[in-house]
């Protein structure tokens, strides 16, 4: 019961929102995070300080860095159906094959912004400062400070070309945390 009370205290709801989603008690929240209404968070999720998830999003398996902004109706690390079997139905492949339905968590760096209605596939790694355009389907990993968009997501540019060569990632966020 004490664990449940701590979990509830760590979750900060958006003002005037009624929370009716599903958050696994095995999910780990570090510091102050915000979870919007109708959000579903699975047991294989770690979410770090100052990050938020907006309404209607589903996070199945992910490690989310600090200062991340996740828009409405985003899907991260959802289960995938095998395309190389006779049927894509879970009723078939879970009962009649040796298919192993193990999720590969998504890794999201610090200060990542994921626009509304984006889908981030299993196993993807998004470096610090990545921006994912609304409605994008991210099927592969991207380097820090990339701007990506489309179906499938493609590199559109870099956020911080003028700072190339500077060590921006961890030093910047460690500085912010000390304040």
Q: Which domain CATH number covers 59?
A: 2.160.10.10
The pLDDT, as a whole number, for residue 90 is 82
Name the pairing type of β-strands 154-158 and 146-149.
Answer: antiparallel
Q: How many domains does the chain fold into?
A: 1
Residue 47 belongs to what domain range?
A: 2-178
Better pLDDT: 42 or 174: 42
Token couple for 70: 């996740």
Per the CB < 8 A criterion, the answer to whether 47 and 33 are in contact is yes
The pLDDT, as a whole number, for residue 84 is 84
Coil, strand or helix at 6: helix
pLDDT confidence tier of residue 19, bands split at 50, 70 and 90: very low
The pLDDT, as a whole number, for residue 3 is 52
As to burial, measured by CB atoms within 10 angstroms (0-12 exposed, 13-18 middle, 19+ buried), residue 163 is exposed
**Spatial separation of the C-alpha atoms in residues 67 and 52, rounded to whole Å:** 8
Taking residues 171-178, what's their average pLDDT? 58
Report the catalytic residues. Answer: 81
Does the pLDDT at position 6 exceed 70? no
Does the pLDDT at position 20 exceed 70? no
The pLDDT, as a whole number, for residue 160 is 80
Short-list 131, 109, 99, CA closest to 118 = 131
Does the pLDDT at position 179 exceed 70? no
């Amino acid at each position: 019961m004490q664990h449940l009370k701590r979990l509830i205290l760590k979750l900060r709801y958006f003002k005037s929102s009624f929370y009716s989603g599903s958050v696994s008690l095995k999910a780990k929240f570090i510091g102050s995070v915000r979870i919007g209404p109708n959000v579903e968070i699975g047991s294989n999720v770690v979410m770090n300080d100052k990050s938020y998830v907006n309404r209607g999003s589903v996070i199945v398996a992910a490690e989310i860095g600090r200062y991340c902004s996740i828009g409405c109706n985003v899907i991260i690390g959802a289960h995938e159906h095998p395309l190389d079997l006779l049927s894509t139905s879970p009723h078939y492949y879970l009962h009649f094959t040796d298919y192993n339905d193990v999720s590969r968590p998504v890794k999201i760096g610090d200060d990542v912004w994921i626009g509304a209605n984006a889908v981030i596939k299993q196993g993807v790694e998004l470096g610090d400062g990545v921006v994912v355009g609304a409605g994008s389907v991210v099927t592969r990993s991207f380097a820090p400070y990339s701007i990506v968009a489309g179906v499938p997501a493609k590199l559109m540019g870099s956020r911080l070309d003028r700072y190339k060569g500077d060590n921006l990632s961890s030093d910047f966020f460690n500085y912010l945390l000390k304040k």
